[in-house]
């Protein structure tokens, strides 16, 4: 009985300690989210509820420029990382063990290394490359993309490799026995089975590239500052209320991406539809944030600001969801005809 009571006391102590740690970590974030709706120019005094700061943040030139650069960098990083990481994971499957161990060591070293080391090394490399090839102002969006891909491609490769390890090799053999070529097997068997890991890795790559500050700070040029760098430049001279809604939107986007990726990786029978819908939402935000869709929608509806992007995303998502269900309805096979019983002849 004494041992049970002591164990219960220890468990309760650890629970309280864990709750205090989470409170210490997440209470400041909760304060930022709450004060993003504060109707006051001073971030430390609550003066009522409002959504005005979200509209002002969306129309702020600095925020728009940073968001546009982030929405250019993140999709390129996601696409390149998914291609390289997936091919690397598949290539390592039939590679000798010593070479696999070497590649895994390099990938883990890339992820574990401090970002400041990666950023500084990348800066020195690009500066020397610019001198060697006589390229002036080499730092910009391409250097940000290349440096981010080095990190995120390793992350995607590890995620896809974990999925690939649990796959049954007899599926590829069965596909070959049925007469499929290696290319057909790759697209018809391997890729569909790896799709959850590929989508999850792509979402994480997009999130890391969109949110990164340390590495991007080293390899960005004067005209290629992403949204986190713009926010840092704004808070250096005093915290503006515009920062709170921007941080809240970034937090919501990041948590949604991470939770969806974790959901599909930890549930064997999880559907990929939520991730595909989220990717479709990201594509809509990217098209609107970069400019073409925003110009088209503004000229069509004369709606701008928060109302403009919300209405565009509603129409964008509704159109694709409608097309999806229409395609399913068209492809649905017709119901079987009722069987006709032959009359019994006497």
Residue 145 pLDDT class (50, 70, 90 cuts): very high
Residue 173 belongs to domain with CATH number: 1.10.3720.10
The DSSP line for 57-106 is HHH-HHHHHHHHHHHHHHHHHHHHHHHHHHHHHHHHHTS-HHHHHHHHHH
Question: Is pLDDT above 80 for 98?
Answer: no
What was the pLDDT predicted at 346?
47
Measure the CA–CA gap between 282 and 4, rounded to whole angstroms: 51
**CA–CA dist 226, 65 (Å, integer):** 8
Tally of domains within the chain: 1
Kindly state whether residue 184 falls inside one of the protein's structural domains: yes
Residues contacting 258, CB < 8 A, separation 6+ = 203, 204, 207
Is 74 a member of any domain? yes
Asked whether residue 126 is domain-assigned, the answer is yes
Top mean-pLDDT range of 107-121, 186-200, 268-282: 107-121
DSSP, res 220: -
pLDDT at 338: 56
Please list the residues that pair with 49 across neighbouring strands.
Answer: 38
d(CA 273, CA 195): 11
Task: Confirm whether 338 is domain-assigned.
Answer: no
Evaluate whether residue 246 is within a structural domain: yes
Domain holding 211, by residue range, is 51-267
């Amino acid at each position: 009985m004494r041992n049970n009571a002591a164990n219960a006391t220890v468990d309760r102590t650890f629970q309280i300690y864990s709750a205090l740690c989470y409170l210490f970590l997440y209470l400041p974030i909760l304060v930022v989210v709450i004060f993003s709706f504060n109707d006051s120019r001073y971030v430390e005094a609550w003066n009522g509820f409002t959504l005005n700061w979200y509209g002002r943040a969306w129309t702020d030139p600095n925020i728009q420029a940073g968001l546009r650069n982030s929405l250019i960098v993140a999709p390129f990083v996601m696409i390149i990382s998914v291609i390289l990481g997936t091919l690397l994971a598949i290539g390592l499957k039939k590679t000798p063990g010593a070479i696999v161990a070497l590649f895994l060591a390099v990938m883990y070293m890339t992820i574990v290394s401090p970002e400041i080391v990666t950023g500084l090394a990348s800066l020195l490399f690009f500066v020397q490359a610019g001198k060697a090839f006589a390229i002036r102002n080499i730092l910009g969006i391409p250097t940000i993309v290349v440096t981010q891909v080095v990190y995120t491609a390793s992350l995607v490769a590890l995620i896809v490799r974990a999925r690939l390890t649990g796959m049954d090799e007899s599926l590829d053999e069965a596909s070959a026995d049925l007469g499929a070529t290696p290319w057909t097997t790759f697209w018809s068997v391997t890729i569909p089975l790896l799709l959850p890991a590929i989508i999850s890795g792509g979402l994480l790559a997009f999130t890391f590239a969109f949110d990164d500050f340390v590495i991007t700070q080293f390899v960005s040029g004067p005209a290629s500052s992403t949204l986190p760098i713009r926010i840092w430049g704004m808070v250096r001279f005093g915290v503006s209320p515009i920062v709170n809604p921007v941080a809240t939107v970034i937090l919501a986007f990041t948590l949604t991406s991470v939770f969806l990726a974790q959901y599909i990786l930890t549930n064997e029978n999880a559907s990929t539809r939520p991730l595909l819908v989220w990717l479709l939402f990201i594509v809509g935000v990217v098209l609107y944030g970069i400019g073409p869709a925003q110009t088209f929608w503004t000229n069509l509806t004369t709606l701008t600001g928060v109302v403009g992007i919300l209405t565009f995303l509603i129409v964008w998502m509704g159109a694709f969801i409608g097309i999806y269900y229409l395609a399913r309805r068209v492809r649905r096979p017709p119901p079987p005809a009722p069987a006709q019983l032959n009359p019994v002849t006497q």
